[in-house]
Structure 1
Amino acid sequence: MIPLSIRHIAGLPEFSTVWQAMQDYTNARTAQSPDEIWLLEHPPVYTLGQAGKREHILNAASIPVVQTDRGGQVTYHGPGQLIAYCLIDLRRQGLYVRQYVAKLEDAIIATLAHFDLTAVRKPGAPGVYVLGQSVKNALYAADELVKIAALGVKIRNGRSYHGLSLNVNMDLRPFDGINPCGYAGLGTTDMRSCGQIIPLDQVAHVLSLQLKQQFSATTENAYE
């Protein structure tokens, strides 16, 4: 069985610090290194994908912008958003990139289902969405897809880093300063706005179990 280590990183570590740590782990790992999931929150930051277009940043205000090496366009990270950085050896798992992305989406959808939220995929747009009818006190059409989780991955020598972000209980206003994931007018929500006020650590626990189910039958948990 493939070992999987779950790391819960306390506080609000800066994005650039964790990004460098992900690269260091990926560069140093061997065929025997365990896969790892890092669960954490970031202070406010906009991140652009490797081919991300600055035109999708409408008004950064005082929020820093970091150009990264992941796929995708622009997204926002901030307190109250659960990040899961997934350092997975895709070759050892026997996964193609599309299969890997589907597993990340499956883990998010199952996590939201655990908290009585129905979520779906959107063809051609990686990430996870809820229907507008699920969002309380918002002017969305009932069948409009509203984004609740984003994906952005990097594969180097068959090994992944970066991962996913799930909006739990956060200030959503910074999403107004960008075209989320490169889509003008895309609605963005969180679990709180859908009526589920859940402590982030509880959501992290469920998500870690779902990721474990997707990627390994054995696990270790570490708190930092």
Structure 2
Amino acid sequence: MRRFSEARGHETPDELWLCQHPPVYTQGITGKLQHVLNAGAIPVVRSTRGGQVTYHGPGQIVAYPLINLKRHGIFVREYVCRLEESAIRTLLHFGVSGFRVAGAPGVYVALPGAPERPPRQQAPQAPAQPDFTGLAKIAALGVKVTRGCTYHGLALNVHMDLAPFHGIHPCGYSALTVTDLHTIGVHAALEDVQAVLQQQLTHLLAT
């Protein structure tokens, strides 16, 4: 991704890479080591994206949009919102409401039995501490922009081993719960979820 982004010119076509990773923890460029509690045999890789530590593994869709934001006239904040919106719309396709949390980029879903929250609620200003009450994270974001072009991106949990998230403070938050579609009762094939996510990303990032 870095080589592609450094070599591309203004007319280089955008690309969207979709994949799954073998088990790995990735640490953001300003990530703090205290958020890695017990990595065990899983490697910890320093990354050039923003944010703290997260986990990637089989059963999780990782999307890397390589987008020229300047050419599309998209600002970074809007780009992040569009990534979140692509995950929210993908979840909605499978009957799940996704939420944003002020101050904590990503997409969240309600925990079973939790009080209903207003959909897509977002405070004008981020609070000192994000409010994760009744929510679990299902999609994580980590981006990098160089010369107006993006790499890294979005990870959406479909049906994966969630145990490795207990070895870290996910995204730097000790109180954050992580879930996937299977755990909340959506037994969709990963290929089907990926097809919807690809469609949403292509639509939201092409205009």
Question: What is the alpha-carbon root mean square deviation over aligned residues?
Answer: 1.1
User: Does structure 1 residue 76 correspond to structure 2 residue 55?
Assistant: yes
- Determine whether 1:147 maps to 2:137: yes
Query: 2:12 maps to which residue?
Result: 33
TM superposition score normalised by structure 1: 0.83
How many residue pairs match? The answer is 190
1:169 corresponds to 2:159: yes
1:59 has 2:49 as partner: no
Specify the alignment match of 2:187 in structure 1: 197
Structure 2 match to 1:102: 81
Deviations 1:58-91 (A, max 9, x none): 0000000001110000000000000001111111
Higher helix share: 1
Q: How far 1:142 moved relative to its partner?
A: 4.1
Which of structure 1's runs of 4+ aligned residues deviate more than 3 A? 140-143
What's the offset of the Cα at 1:185? 2.1
Name the residue aligned to 2:107.
128
- Gaps in structure 2 of 5+ consecutive residues: 117-133
Opposite residue 197 of structure 2, the aligned amino acid is L
Calculate the TM-score normalised by the size of structure 2. 0.89
| Alpha-carbon offset, residue 197 of structure 1 | 1.0
- In proportion to residue count, which structure has more strand? 1
The match for 1:185 is 175
Structure 2 CA distance for partners of 1:142 and 1:175, relative to 1, 3 Å: farther
Which consecutive residues of structure 1, in runs of 5 or more, have no partner in the other structure? 1-21, 134-139, 218-224
Q: Matched residues in 2 for 1:27 and 1:190: separation?
A: 34
Taking the aligned partners of 1:83 and 1:185, their CA distance within structure 2 comes to 24
